[in-house]
Amino acid sequence: MAFLTPVDVLDDQDIDDIYFEDEEAIHFVPPLAVGPMYKSGHNSATLYGINEDAAHSQSSPQDHIYPCASQEWDSADELLEHALDQELDSDYDYDLDLDLELEFDLDPGEEVFEEEYDDGYDGVDFFPGLMDAASPFGQEINAHTLQSADLDFGGQHLEDVVEQLQNVRSQAAACLEGLALSFLAQLASLPNSQTHTSNKEHASPAEITQNLPDEIPISSDDGNPDNSVIPFRKPNKGINLSIASRRTLAEDSDGLALLSFTYISSSRFECDRRVSRTPQYRTIQFPARSKKSSSAPRFAVLFRVIDLAHEALVSNVPTTKRDIFYKDVPLFGKQSTVDHLVDDIAATFRIPRSSLNIRASSKGLFCGASLSLHLKHGGVVSGDDNESTLIPAEEDISWVEIEDSLEWVLVVEKEAVFQTLARIRFAAGVASHLGPGVIITGKGYPDLATRSLVHRLCSLLAPTVPVLALVDGDAYGIDILSVYKFGSTSLQHQRDALVAPRLEWIGVHGSELANIGVDKDALIPLTTRDHSKAMAMLRRPRAIMPDEWRRELTHMLHMRRKAEIECLVSASSVPQYGVQGVRDSVESSGPWAGPGRADGNKLVEYLVWKIAWAASSARC
């Protein structure tokens, strides 16, 4: 039995040599169904071997293939390790609980692997031609060096220590490698006229274990490729790679499920339906299913991203999505291609994106001297009442220091509003007699760092401190609010660490504008985008679209006008809730009094009214 490495197969000449010159057809163990290789969390697989003897006989095709190994593993990378080892390293006798041994005899001329089996498995070592990596984990210790160093670990098992040292990044690297290897494995097994090929269709984990294939006919000498049958599902020649499709990624039973954005009948509009637990995957196929485009660019984009992510992991140099995009702009085209793909890959392996060593660039700001962020590598980011401070990435923050005098937290959608409030030292509380607070902005749709900071504050602060949001009273404002409070569609798998359930929506409500004296003509007409967005949001389940928000959207749609924060400028009668002498103090405090004072005035009055009301009701 000869082994073919994917590297060899890539050369057409080699293929001819191998397939046609040798009388004995080359048999090789079909690579594992590729599902388990990159569905971490799934931890069982069945390996199939080809019975060499049966292949030469006239026995029916069913006898050619037998399940030779089936195993549960504790973690995906362990599975990966074992699976790839036995596939690629011919010298290794793989002994399982089932007492099946596999022996792979190398033809002398076909020796491919000369490396010995390595405990600290790293796929990179087996494909020297593919990746030029130096020691894969850089400065980090792996089992190999530990063994040779003969160190004492205080009684701990070597495996435990290795495991502790090999952090999440190595798992992520293994997952990425698995994806690439599965592609190559499929490439190696493309249909060929002479020999059998079994084409891989990506199947769900359940199917792999439950639906053992009945038959995998080996094509006879007439080499009709149509005879090759997918073992698991529908026939599909070619290569299939599946990655998660985040839009329909389902939640666990205690989480929320977002309905995918398709039209459904009204009878199902309001129900909080749970999408099935199986995550949805989209498949990149070769040959492409659609007639109009080829699939090569899709593979190229996927592998370029995986390559850059792997490089970041291996060399321990963090990169950003923007960085990845700029490495190959003609290939990617748009930044969003990279964004979606990176998040999809992270979702496929169910790991947070930071584990891929791709850092999100922060854009959120905060303001307020009561808040200081202590970083993991030393250093403190302390807030200031007058200036805005960039919110550091979540993985850099070690702990958060909050002054006891903190009375409120305000999250605003727009940076312009944030800057206005920072300029008038609103966070200090002096101008408004409110008490010190913290203002945070995500500059529109918040990034991970902002959301995680808000989440942290929500979990750390006492219930008497209100966490409030000021967004436009339009569809996008409410969507931003929803992202803070319930999580975004694209990062459902990271949801729990990013949501801020305590967040209250204080404004701007379209329904209250009449009460505070805003003229209806000051409202802004709805655009087609607003209309579509609002209609789409009305379809969301009640768990993530409370009735109050739904009512606001409905009234906004019906009125054909939306309320933005700028409308407050024309407010004529903002109530002064329980705060004495605010107007006087606001007018007399110096630095920001002047032209445009009227704008600051009205906004401040509005916010003071809302925050004071929220704070007093929180105290009850």
Partner 1 sequence: MSLQFVLSHSSSRGHADTVWGTQWTAADMVVSISADGTAGLWDTATGESIRSLPPHPLALVSLSTDAKGSRALYNSIEGTTGLWDLESGDVLGKKESFDTKAEGIEPAWSVSLSPDATTYASTGASGTITIHSADPTTFGRSVDTLSPRSADGKHKFGMFVSYSPDGSRLAMSTEQGQIFVFDIEKKELVNSFASHAMCVRSLAWSADSQLLLSASDDKRLVLHDVRTASGSGRPGSGAVASLNGHSSWVLSASLSADGKHAASGSSDRTVKIWDLSSRQCVSTIQEQGEIWGVSWRPQGGALVTGGEDGSLKWWRG
Secondary structure (3-state) at 125: helix
Distance CA 354, CA 358 (A): 5
Closest distance of CB 270 from partner 1, Å: 4
Cβ 521 to partner 1, closest distance in Å?
A: 8
- The CB-of-545 to partner 1 minimum distance in angstroms stands at 11
* Least CB distance to partner 1 at residue 209 (A): 37
Helix (H, G, I), strand (E, B) or coil at 56: helix
Question: Residue 377 contacts by C-beta under 8 Å, 6 or more apart in sequence?
Answer: 396
Residue 128 Ramachandran class (φ > 0 left, ψ -120 to 50 alpha, else beta)? alpha
Nearer to partner 1, 525 or 590 (CB): 525
The answer to whether the CB of 489 falls within 8 A of the CB of 247 is yes
Residue 376 or 520: which CB sits closer to partner 1?
Answer: 520
Catalytic residues: 326
> Minimum distance from CB of 483 to partner 1 (Å)?
22
Q: Which is nearer to partner 1, 350 or 531 (CB)?
A: 531
Question: Given the complex with partner 1, which of 539 and 583 has the nearer CB atom?
Answer: 539
- CB-wise, 269 or 399, nearer to partner 1? 269
Please say whether the dihedral angle defined by the alpha carbons of residues 400, 401, 406 and 410, taken in this order, is positive or negative: negative
With both helix axes pointing from N to C terminus, report the angle between 76-88 and 168-188 in degrees, rounded to the nearest 10: 40
CB of 306 to partner 1, least distance (A): 35
User: Closer to partner 1 at the Cβ: 366 or 549?
Assistant: 549
Can you tell me the distance from the alpha carbon of 249 to that of 343, in angstroms, rounded to the nearest whole number?
A: 12
What three-state secondary structure class fits 499?
A: coil
Minimum CB separation from partner 1 for residue 492, in Å? 24
**Tokens encoding 285:** 């196929």
CB of 486 to partner 1, least distance (A): 19
Residue count (the chain): 620
Question: Which residue in 458, 425, 418 sits closest to 441, CA to CA?
Answer: 418
Nearer to partner 1, 42 or 509 (CB): 509
CA neighbor of 230 nearest in space, from 34, 4, 457:
34
Q: Distance (Å, rounded) from C-alpha 205 to C-alpha 348?
A: 13
Three-state SS string across 270-339, please? CCCCCCCCCCCEEEEEECCCCCCCCCHHHHHHHHHHHHHHHHHHHHCCCEEHHHHHHHCHHHHCCHHHHH
Q: Quick one: tokens of 405?
A: 């005098």
The binding site for partner 1 (CB under 8 A) comprises 263, 265-266, 269-270, 514, 520-521, 525, 528, 531, 535, 538-539, 550-551, 554-555, 557-558, 560
Measured CA to CA, the distance from residue 229 to residue 225 in angstroms comes to 9
Facing residues of 389 across strands? Answer: 366
C-alpha distances (whole Å) from 249 to each of 201, 231, 276, 345, 430 are 20, 26, 9, 12, 47
Residues 409 and 382 sit within 8 Å (Cβ to Cβ): no
Helix (H) or strand (E) holding 529: helix 528-538
Return d(Cα 537, Cα 467) in angstroms, integer.
Answer: 24
Q: List the one residue out of 491, 444, 449 whose CA is nearest residue 360.
A: 449
Residue 288 vs 557, nearer CB to partner 1: 557
| Nearer CB in complex with partner 1: 406/567 | 567
Least CB distance from residue 571 to partner 1, whole Å? 16
